């Protein structure tokens, strides 16, 4: 018997990646149903050489499915995910709607796949920045116990969706043509610029993205008191986020030991050639399922601190690929 799978938000950037990954994967799929808003309904997409009509998401249309991916925003997930569960499906949700709910596992399979056993119908996919950070840091945490994380993120336009990618492309063309730069998605010009992540700032001075990273890493690691300080920045990169990370560990971890640990870690590729000055870049990470890790060095300002730099595809490990990994674990029993 094949799986019956639905994708809500299939015409968005993450939904398209999920469809592509399922098409090229080995999961036995008996039926796939594609959902979007009324604006995108009735579009025809292809899956394994068969045309599939995109349906407008609705209560009655989510019945009789085994698994449903949600990538259409928190309000859509809050409204329709419980309906899909009631109809018999397991929901893998890519929005922030359920991530911090106590009864919902927040899963990076390389880190905490065992929490999948306690789901009640909904499983949350982490924030893209948190998923990339967790994959790279978890093997080091297991070896030396991370007590504090300081991270600066350099987040690509892809993190804000397909319209943001189009805006970066359009602004580059406008700049090259000497035209006025037009802004719609981002509050600041994204081409040839960097700026603080475009989420609300609370009274502490941290923005929503920075708070998400801290809260979600603590939940994924099962470390509710872990010290985390994040600074999240938008950069003019189409795809793949990068992060500059400093870890303070309970046991001193040398750069060489950390490099050896990461060479054997799942979901990670070490790119750390000092002689050639070759380290992770978002261009190299784009399209890859693994997180690239490099710039490993001991922090001379602290006796037990390690610095590193990572790049990971926001649409893959940061979203769609992580969700597919969750499905594969569930389908395998």
Q: Which one of the listed residues 20, 49, 128, 302 is annotated catalytic?
A: 128
Tell whether 158 is in a known binding site. Answer: yes
Residue 13 marked in a binding site: yes
Which residues are bridge partners to 285 per DSSP? none
Does residue 234 have a known ligand-binding role? yes
241 is catalytic: yes
State yes or no: 16 annotated in a binding site. Answer: no
Give dist(CA 292, CA 272) in Å, integer. Answer: 9
Binding residue per annotation — 95?
no
Q: Is 189 marked within a binding site?
A: no
Instruction: Tell me: is residue 12 an annotated ligand-binding position.
Output: yes
Strand order in the sheet with 268-270: 195-196, 227-234, 146-155, 241-249, 305-312, 291-298, 268-270
- By CB atoms closer than 10 A (0-12, 13-18, 19+), residue 204 is exposed
* 145: its two tokens: 């116990």
**Residue 331 assigned ligand-binding role:** no
208 annotated to bind ligand: yes
Secondary structure of 240-298 in HEC code, one letter for each residue: CEEEEEEEEECCCCCHHHHHHHHHCCCCEEECCECCCCECCCHHHHCCCCCEEEEEEEE
Q: Is 9 known as a binding-site position?
A: no
Residues in the chain: 333
* Given the residues 119, 141, 197, 241, the one annotated as active site: 241
Question: Residues at the annotated binding site?
Answer: 11-14, 39-40, 99, 155, 158-159, 208, 234, 314
Binding positions for NADP(+): 11-14, 39-40, 158-159, 314
Residue positions annotated with a catalytic role? 128, 241
* Binding-site entries for substrate: 155, 208, 234
């Amino acid at each position: 018997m094949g799986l019956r799978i639905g994708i809500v938000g299939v015409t968005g950037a993450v939904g398209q990646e999920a469809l592509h990954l399922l098409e090229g994967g080995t999961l036995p799929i008996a039926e796939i149903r594609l959902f979007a808003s009324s604006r995108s309904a009735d579009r025809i997409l292809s899956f394994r050489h068969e045309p599939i009509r995109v349906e407008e998401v609705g209560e009655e249309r989510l019945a009789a499915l085994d698994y449903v991916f949600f990538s259409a925003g928190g309000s859509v997930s809050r409204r329709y995910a419980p309906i899909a569960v009631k109809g018999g499906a397991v929901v893998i949700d890519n929005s922030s709607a359920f991530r911090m709910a106590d009864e919902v596992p927040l899963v990076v399979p390389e880190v905490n796949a065992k929490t999948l056993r306690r789901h009640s119908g909904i499983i949350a996919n982490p924030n893209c920045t948190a998923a990339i950070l967790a994959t790279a840091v978890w093997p080091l945490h297991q070896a030396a116990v991370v007590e504090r994380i300081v991270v600066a993120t350099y987040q690509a336009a892809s993190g804000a969706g397909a319209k943001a990618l189009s805006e970066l492309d359009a602004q580059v063309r406008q700049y090259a043509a000497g035209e006025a730069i037009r802004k719609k998605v981002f509050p600041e010009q994204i081409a040839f610029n960097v700026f603080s992540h475009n989420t609300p700032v609370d009274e502490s001075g941290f923005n929503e993205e920075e708070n998400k990273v801290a809260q979600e890493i603590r939940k994924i690691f099962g470390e509710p008191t872990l010290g985390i300080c994040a600074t999240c920045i938008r950069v003019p990169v189409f795809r793949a986020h990068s992060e500059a990370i400093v870890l303070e560990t309970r046991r001193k971890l040398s750069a060489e030991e950390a490099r050896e640990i990461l060479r054997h870690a799942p979901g990670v590729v070490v790119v750390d050639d000092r002689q050639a000055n070759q380290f992770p870049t978002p261009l190299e990470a784009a399209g890859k399922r693994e997180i690239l890790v490099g710039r490993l060095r001991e922090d001379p300002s602290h006796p037990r601190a390690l610095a590193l730099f990572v790049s990971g595809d926001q649409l893959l490990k940061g979203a769609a690929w992580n969700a597919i990994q969750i499905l594969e674990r569930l389908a395998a029993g």
